[in-house]
Amino acid sequence: MTLAELDSQQAASLAEVTAAADAAALEQVRIKYLGRNGLLPAIIKQMKEVPAADRPEFGKRVQAWRAALESALAERVADAATGKKERAAFDCTLPGRWFAPGAKHPVSRVIEETAAIFGRLGFTVADGPDIETRFNNFTALNTPAHHPSMDASDTFWLTDDRLLRTQTSPVQIRVMTSHTPPVRIITPGRTYRRDTTDATHSANFHQIEGLYVDTKPVSLADLKSTLAYYAREMMGAEAGVRFRPHFFPFTEPSVEVDFSCHVCGGKGCRVCKMSGWIEIAGAGMVDPRVYEHVNQARGDHAYDPATVYGYAFGFGVERIAMVKYGIPDIRWLYENDVRFLSQLA
């Protein structure tokens, strides 16, 4: 064995001491090098084959190796007995694990704020399932199978009779079927449409439906004042509303509801496409045909179109969140990116 080989063997033996996982492994290393049939005794036995000139240096290095190996082994064995290695592995100066905090999601925020605002007006929150019947989602809302408005929302059917609801309006039917007037509810929830995703569309989004039906006169003026109150509470004291005539199968008359643009105050800007107004909701007075379908489902006449009055409305939650918080792309709401979500903290 040459001096160079001796050095590399020494380095290897010390590395094995360092790598040994426990006391048993350290003992294996000791036996391999220092045991009676170990490598060091074998090398010493072969000393006579080392050239005479190298022999004194060779002998010195073998002794040094033995000393280094013995002390390394002794240190590691003592550590293993006291558990020092585990403690040494815990470095309390390392930075802690960063817990990336988000914040309440803008969609949840709009839903909760809306529920609080309408709560002050006496509305309670009702709930309905994502999987609806054809009757609740369409027929009772005065949208028969052949109706053209079904095309736009003819969507995720699960069976001939069941589908992922295209709107939260079917909860109107559920509430009226199970409660006599007066009813005053809002109902937030998920809705589904066969939409191609882009900056303003998603096949899965949220709506908040509202319904007020009473046995005393309720008018379009009541609807307007209620929505004006909501606009001010949600968007700020300066917010105004306007109604534009529209058509929905389940309201008559029907309107589309715009909020004045909170960014430019109505002067016209990029957010409101220079119009000063932002489309926010559909609404109207509940169509008598809807009451008739409800009565049919109830088997009584609790919603007599001659004596009950009511209005309904439906908001897009994402739309309000995007307008209120200045979010340019609906997809940001679904990506769960904390860089986005933490901004509302």
- Residues of span 159-178 touching ligand DAH by CB under 6 A: 167, 169
- 282 makes contact with ligand DAH (CB under 6 A): yes
Which of 313, 317, 320, 341 touches ligand DAH (CB under 6 A)?
A: 313
- Nearest to ligand DAH of 58, 248 (CB atom): 248
Which two structure tokens, joined as six digits, stand for 316? 């897009």
- 312 makes contact with ligand DAH (CB under 6 A): yes
Which two structure tokens, joined as six digits, stand for 183? 């009813």
C-alpha–C-alpha distance, residues 20 and 75, integer Å: 12
Which one of the spans 72-80, 214-222, 225-233, 282-290 is the region binding ligand DAH (CB under 6 A)?
282-290
- Nearest to ligand DAH of 10, 142 (CB atom): 142
Among candidate residues 130, 270, 252, the one with its CA nearest the CA of residue 203: 130
CA 19 to chain centre: 44
Which of 106, 128, 284, 310 touches ligand DAH (CB under 6 A)?
A: 284
Which of 17, 62, 261, 283 touches ligand DAH (CB under 6 A)?
A: 283
Among candidate residues 78, 80, 56, 60, the one with its CA nearest the CA of residue 68: 60
**What is the smallest separation between the CB atom of 269 and ligand DAH, expressed in angstroms?**
26
C-alpha–C-alpha distance, residues 239 and 265, integer Å: 8
- Residues of span 201-260 touching ligand DAH by CB under 6 A: 209, 248, 251
- Nearest to ligand DAH of 20, 286 (CB atom): 286
Which of 117, 177, 314, 323 touches ligand DAH (CB under 6 A)?
A: 314
- Nearest to ligand DAH of 285, 341 (CB atom): 285
Phi and psi torsions of 283, nearest 5°: -165, 175
Distance set, CA 316 to CA 27, 59, 95 (Å): 72, 88, 44
148 DSSP 8-state letter: T
Distance set, CA 98 to CA 34, 101, 203, 221, 334 (Å): 47, 9, 34, 53, 23
- Nearest to ligand DAH of 117, 312 (CB atom): 312
C-alpha–C-alpha distance, residues 53 and 35, integer Å: 28
Which one of the spans 26-34, 110-118, 216-224, 312-320 is the region binding ligand DAH (CB under 6 A)?
312-320
CB 234 within 8 A of CB 324: yes
**Residues near ligand DAH, by CB under 6 A:** 167, 169, 209, 248, 251, 282-284, 312-314
